[in-house]
Amino acid sequence: MVNIEMRNATLGYGRTIVLRDLSFQVRPGEMVGLIGPNGCGKSTIIRALSRIIPPHSGKILLDGQDVTKISRLELARLLGVVPQLPILPSAFTAFEIVLMGRNPHLGLFQYEGPKEMTIAWQAMEKTGTQSLAERRISELSGGEIQGLLIARVLAQETKAILLDEPTANLDIGRQIEILGLIKNLCRQDNLAVLAALHDLNLAVQYCDRLILINNGHIHAEGTPKEVITAENIAEVYGAENCVYTHPSNGLPCVLLNAGDGKVAKPNDILKEA
């Protein structure tokens, strides 16, 4: 079991500071959603947690250990990342890509044996991607590739998972399928899961807690009910009066109303034409 923690971390690129003085935790068995407007730094948090960029100040801890002091190999056994729309080598097959998830578990001289194959194959079964196994990456759609990336992180068998917009390319059926799968794994295997999500309604439905980022700091943190309030959404996104209560489970939900603001009504346009 692994605990993800940021303690007073300031993050950025070169001299540009993106996020200041962040402190939060993701506990084992908990699924936390990272939400906020475009460019607020959701991906930066994921890159810092996976040691791609070092923090300017403060500490990033995985199970109490400073991530900058853990070797890459060790880190990759603890923490898996599903990147947002990455470039994948087009000549490799889907199965070869999923099998790469086993890399951190293999020594320098080792090749993937039957054990690695079985783990990768089961990960593809769980994500419904087995039928793609022999296809080349160049032949796959964005949604299919997203499924493969989830399969790869499952094959990696880590204690914590970070996801950067895991549902961005999926239709609603696949969104429910993939987030449901991640949530179940999080509960069954006590994984710490942090997901950057664009879709506020998905975040509410699947996450135990939400962290709302705005203007370089944490604007609100807590249960979906505490974070998705009309005031917070208006302050952060500038969208007024769009938080309602879900009719069947009582959670907050965000419904947009184009008629409220600055949008021309369809019949106005028709009249002009």
Partner 1 sequence: MNITPPIHFLRWRSRIYGILGLLVLLAAVVILATAIGSVQIPFLTTSSILISKLPLVELTPTWAATMETIIFEIRLPRVILAGLVGAALAIAGATYQGLFRNPLADPYLIGVAQGAALGAVIGFLLPPSWHSVGFGIIPLLAFIGALVSTAVVYSLARVGKTLPVTTLILAGVALGALLASIVSYLIISSGEKIHGIMFWLMSSFSLSQWSEAVVVLPYVLLGVVIILLCARPLNVMQLDEEQAQQLGINVERLKLVLLAAATLITAAAVSFVGIIGFVGIIIPHAVRLIWGADHRFLLPLSVLTGAIFLILADLIARTALAPAEIPIGVITAICGAPFFLYLLRRRKKVIF
- Enumerate residues 155-214 that contact partner 1 by CB under 8 A: 156
For the beta sheet containing 31-35, the strands, ordered from the edge strand earlier in sequence to the opposite edge, are: 79-82, 160-164, 192-196, 31-35, 209-214, 217-222
Q: How far is CA 244 from the centre of its chain?
A: 25
Q: Using the rule CB under 8 A, is 91 a contact of partner 1?
A: yes
Q: Closest distance between partner 1 and the C-beta of residue 204, in Å?
A: 28
State which of residues 38, 64, 69, 114 lies at the interface with partner 1 (CB under 8 A). Answer: 114
Q: How many residues bind partner 1 (CB under 8 A)?
A: 49
Interface segment toward partner 1; rule CB under 8 A; list 4-12, 55-63, 91-99, 176-184: 91-99
Interface segment toward partner 1; rule CB under 8 A; list 90-98, 165-173, 210-218, 247-255: 90-98
Contact between 44 and 53 (Cβ < 8 Å): yes
d(CA 182, CA 176): 10
Q: Using the rule CB under 8 A, is 31 a contact of partner 1?
A: no
Q: Using the rule CB under 8 A, is 142 a contact of partner 1?
A: no
Query: What letter would DSSP give residue 75?
Result: H
Beta strands in the chain (DSSP E): 4-13, 16-26, 31-35, 57-62, 65-66, 79-82, 160-164, 192-196, 209-214, 217-222, 243-245, 252-254
Binding positions for partner 1, rule: CB under 8 A:
47, 50-52, 71-77, 79-81, 83, 86-93, 95-97, 99-101, 103-104, 106, 108-111, 114, 117-118, 120-122, 125, 130, 133-134, 136, 138, 156
